[in-house]
Amino acid sequence: MENTFDPNAAAVAGSGIYGLPCTAEEAQIIIIPVEWELTTSYNRGTVDGPDTVMEASLQVDLCHHDYPELWRKGIFMDEFPVELRELHDQMAPISEEIIEALYEDLVDEDPEKYAAMYADIEAATERKNAWLRERIAYWKGQGKVVGLLGGDHSCPLAYHQYLNKEGVEYGILHADAHMDLREAFEGFKYSHASIFYNTLKFDNVKRLVQIGIRDYCHQEKALVEDQAGRVKVFYDRDCRRRLFEGERWKDLVDEMIDQLPSKVYLSIDIDALDPKLCPNTGTPVPGGLEYEELMYVLNRIREAGREIIGFDLCEVSPSPDGGDWDGNVGARVLFHLCGVAAR
């Protein structure tokens, strides 16, 4: 990083994420943006989450409270291929038409037509996943700490495919309002609501610990029970009741960490937070974690000696009126993830 860089100064035009001037070669941490949300059925917009976070990051002061020297390690934002963004934008109207047809009960009237449309969405997603696996492998091969920035929560599947191919045994700390354990939700194999249904197919994933959960279906709850302890859910309402009745957040967090093996992947859906912090996310749900509660969990995982092998932040969405609150919060969550994961 340039010796003349002043971390106390305002970000300048043309600088990188968080206003840092470092190149990819200089940076210890690489953030791969994933502009993809073909299966979001409620509020769309997370496809522009990476740009929203990038813009807001320029307003983040660099003296991180817990990791004040983080900026020195270097953080670099990669680029999402133009051709893949164009592919996404071509497929988005197709996925929207499928979802509309489902709600209007029209799919069975022309099954061949919709089967072909589903196949197109699946093929496009597999093309994106193939690129993303290769990109993760490329940066990992250079010794980088690699994080993903979505996009909807289907995006990290490629990271787990990569880790499976590498034979890495690990656990996942998943913060979310939703379990994301649905099978092919709304007919989409690679749905944002199916990310961990798909990930649990990999035997090298030894434990999935979910926090902030407060919206789920019977199928998902049954799947958790069938996993014989492989999935541990800290339901938001149960945690709140324990806190209301006098227990400490520290004790609950210690229970969460005790469930995790030595290597941990961090998967953060921004809607794990109270929706006052992310009002424009794809599927907001009342309740959820406060910002500092999540920061405490992440810090305690590092303090407990767990090795962070990768991370993602998904479902940040810009405000339709041009406000930057969601990006502001997302940029700070991402900065903290970088601090926890940095060597």
What gap in Å lies between CA 33 and CA 136, rounded to an integer? Answer: 11
Check residue 1 and give its pLDDT. 59
Is position 170 within any domain? Answer: yes
Check residue 286 and give its pLDDT. 97
What are the E-state strand segments in the chain?
29-34, 75-77, 145-150, 170-175, 205-213, 231-235, 263-269, 307-314
Write out the two tokens for 38. Answer: 């073909």
- How far, in Å, are 101, 113, 176 from residue 110 at the CA level? 10, 6, 36
Is position 15 within any domain? Answer: no
Check residue 12 and give its pLDDT. 87
Check residue 223 and give its pLDDT. 97
Write out the two tokens for 244. Answer: 């209301």
Q: In the chain, which stretches have pLDDT less than 70? A: 1-3
Check residue 321 and give its pLDDT. 85
The structure's pTM equals 0.97
Write out the two tokens for 214. Answer: 């407060």
- Provide the residue range defining the domain that includes 233: 37-50+78-341
Is position 10 within any domain? Answer: no
Check residue 40 and give its pLDDT. 86
Is position 69 within any domain? Answer: no
- The CATH number of residue 228's host domain is 3.40.800.10
DSSP letter string, 46-59? GGGHHHHHHHHHTT
Check residue 2 and give its pLDDT. 55
What are the E-state strand segments in 89-246?
145-150, 170-175, 205-213, 231-235
Domain count along the chain: 1
Q: How many CB atoms lie within 10 A of CB 128?
A: 27
Cα dihedral sign for 173, 314, 279, 77? positive
What gap in Å lies between CA 97 and CA 78, rounded to an integer? Answer: 31
Is position 17 within any domain? Answer: no
Is position 95 within any domain? Answer: yes
Is position 62 within any domain? Answer: no
Task: Please give the DSSP secondary-structure letter assigned to residue 33.
Answer: E
Is position 71 within any domain? Answer: no
Side by side, the strands of the sheet bearing 75-77 are: 75-77, 29-34, 145-150, 307-314, 263-269, 170-175, 205-213, 231-235
